[in-house]
Structure 1
Amino acid sequence: MSASTHTTDATPASPAPVLSIAPVALPVPGRPVDLEMRISAPVTGDDLPVLLLSHGQGPSNHLSSLNGYAPLAHFWAAHGFVVIQPTHLSSRTLSLDPATPGAPMFWRSRAEDMRHIIDRLDEIEAAAPHLRGRLDRDKIAVAGHSMGGHTAGLLLGAMLTDPDDGAEVSLADPRVKAGVLLAAPGRGGDAINESVAEMFPFLTTPDFSRMAAPTLVVAGDKDDSTHLTNRGPEWHTDPYVLAPGPKSLVTLFDAGHGLGGVSGYDVAETTDEDPGRVSAVQRLTWAYLRAQLFPGDGAWQSACDALLTGPDALGRVESK
């Protein structure tokens, strides 16, 4: 499938075979270990947009690494994206010393991983020769689930106050043209439980008011993350509510934090397993990014009409 092909359907016409290579390793000065990633791409097509996917921090060992999120990564790659999945320092697969600076969540390093990847796409192409000359560097997007949503939000323009020195931190990258936040953390302050504020103080000061890049926020109306917040499921809509447009919010009915199971196939930590819901997330996120990166593409409106309207709607959508 050519990345420049437009569609007016809620799904692409046909998936392409996908070639995936892992691990591709980039040495990064000062990073405790090399930055390893999985790269997945359709076997055909040129001028392919690039989509960086940041993993979350669930209880499983390998979902929070380049080996997770297959339902999303494979779908996006099969329908025209080059998907790059870094293993952040927060991954359990690395077994880093808990005293490592930035542990346990490595919020700053996570965002820096994404920027390193964009900086070094030439090296990544060289490590994956089947990609050589096929990337469109003017069409770069980010996506992330849960903690990965926090990471992606920083690239899209969200800010925070560094709990170590009180400095305001901006890690926005103008090369990132659009993004998708899946079950991402919301605002801080009194919305954060006291124990969480002590363990993860960076979650207490997010500022979405300058997250200006086009972004789709996806939240589940049953995602009651009581271990983090007392605000209920609406907390996960904050990146939409508190940010300037252009933004869209999809609220999925009866969806929990796993949004049906986006982090992996048949994983035990998914409390709301629903293949139909995962399919909707695949199609909606793909369609949104198509519309943002390829002006005139009708996929987003078609996907909303097919999946979010009528008596069988899987959720609701609003935009600003």
Structure 2
Amino acid sequence: MSTPFTEAAGIPVSDPTPVTTFSPVVLPVPGRIVDLQIKVSAPSTGSDLPVILLSHGHGPSNFVSSLHGYGPVADFWAAHGFVVIQPTHLDSMTLGLRESDDPEAPLYSRSRAEDMRHILDHLDRIEAAVPGLAGRLDHTRIAAVGHSMGGHTVGMLCGQRVTDPADGTPVDAADARVKAGVLMAAPGRGEDLAPFATEHYPVLGTTGFATMTTPALVIVGENDWNAAFSDRKDWRADAYHLSPCPKSLLTLFEAEHGLGGVSMYDAAETTDENPERVAALRALTWAYLRTALYPGDSAWADATAALTSMPNPLGSVESK
């Protein structure tokens, strides 16, 4: 007889509530080749709700890298009190723009950060567009979460810097409205990028973390290593090690780039599918953001204590 999967892998979280999801909300953006489409997932009850902007990765699937992906984490966070807003960035396979002659293609790194800032600029419009959401958001408690290239996007909002490969100008997309970030399996330091990735994704070769001052949780998989990106096996932890305090690092044991399957329910591209790993990740992220956005909330301390006290913990946490 199989063991049922859990929602939070033994990490203490709040009681869940029903979730309402509404999409697409369409936001016109001057100069953007297509309108910005987003999905909004929210608790069906409650007010003064904190917000998570969730940035998808650059993965190979047709629909995972869009507003349609990341259900295992988005659904959970919405059920536990956050309003989750998911944009479809220009590098999404659904838009067919990766092979365009746009100098930002294929990653659209600057546009990704601009998408997130545009959402923040128009939260009132988003509230009005979603039935039953008007007046329920807390515009002062905003976090950004991203996976893979989405983690790079969140890093930019938190102060990480890159240089635009098209014209050599520095890009500063930091946004003080983002009070905390979570970078899941994000790219590391640019100077350690492998030649293959430098050729195909030159903007990643300029990534630096010295100015990434916003509090953040960096999540890495113990076995998330691809020589096409870097020779260093700890490369994806650079956002923790090379940025200023305060930061925390969650290392998920035996996890690969999919971190157990954060991007989609039963996604074929998840090489390390493990629902309990995802349950731990989303619960620990929830706890981190509760404490980051509500100083004095003990959720993060309670969660890390629960993790370390497990007979066979799924990961480890360190902070600076």
Fold match by TM threshold 0.5 = yes
Alignment match of 2:184 (pick from 174, 182, 185): 182
**Kept in 2: contact 1:10–1:300 (CA 8 A):** no
Q: Which amino acid aligns with 1:187?
A: R
Q: Which amino acid aligns with 1:98?
A: S
Q: Which amino acid aligns with 1:137?
A: H
What secondary structure is seen at the aligned counterpart in 1 of 2:20?
strand
In structure 2, the residue matched to 1:169 is: 171
Any residues of structure 2 matched to 1:66-81 within 5 Å, and which?
A: 66-81=67-82
What secondary structure is seen at the aligned counterpart in 2 of 1:140?
strand
**Kept in 1: contact 2:277–2:314 (CA 8 A):** yes
**Kept in 1: contact 2:103–2:166 (CA 8 A):** no
Counterpart CA distance in 2 for 1:309 and 1:100 is 51
**Cα deviation per residue 1:147-175 (whole Å; 9 max; x = unaligned)?**
00000100011011221222221100000
| Number of equivalenced pairs | 310
Counterpart CA distance in 2 for 1:209 and 1:186 is 12
What secondary structure is seen at the aligned counterpart in 1 of 2:153?
helix
Counterpart CA distance in 1 for 2:170 and 2:101 is 24
Runs of 4 or more, structure 1, over 4 Å off, are none
In structure 1, the residue matched to 2:154 is: 152
**Kept in 1: contact 2:146–2:153 (CA 8 A):** yes
Structure 2 unaligned runs (5+)?
A: 1-9
In structure 2, the residue matched to 1:5 is: none
In structure 2, the residue matched to 1:228 is: 229
Counterpart CA distance in 1 for 2:122 and 2:315 is 38
Q: CA deviation at 1:310?
A: 4.5
Change (3 A) 1:113 1:164: same
Deviates more, 1:45-54 or 1:126-135: 126-135
In structure 2, the residue matched to 1:307 is: 307
Deviates more, 1:90-99 or 1:238-247: 90-99
In structure 2, the residue matched to 1:117 is: 119
In structure 1, the residue matched to 2:263 is: 263
Counterpart CA distance in 2 for 1:83 and 1:11 is 20
**Kept in 1: contact 2:110–2:171 (CA 8 A):** no
**Kept in 2: contact 1:308–1:314 (CA 8 A):** no
When the two chains are superposed, the root-mean-square deviation of aligned CA atoms in Å is: 1.2
Are 1:62 and 2:96 an aligned pair? no
What secondary structure is seen at the aligned counterpart in 2 of 1:104?
coil
Counterpart CA distance in 2 for 1:308 and 1:268 is 31
Q: CA deviation at 1:112?
A: 0.1
In structure 2, the residue matched to 1:286 is: 286
Deviates more, 1:305-314 or 1:64-73: 305-314
**Cα deviation per residue 1:189-246 (whole Å; 9 max; x = unaligned)?**
1x211121111111111110111111000001100122211112x1110000000000
Are 1:12 and 2:16 an aligned pair? no
In structure 2, the residue matched to 1:202 is: 203
Q: CA deviation at 1:188?
A: 1.1
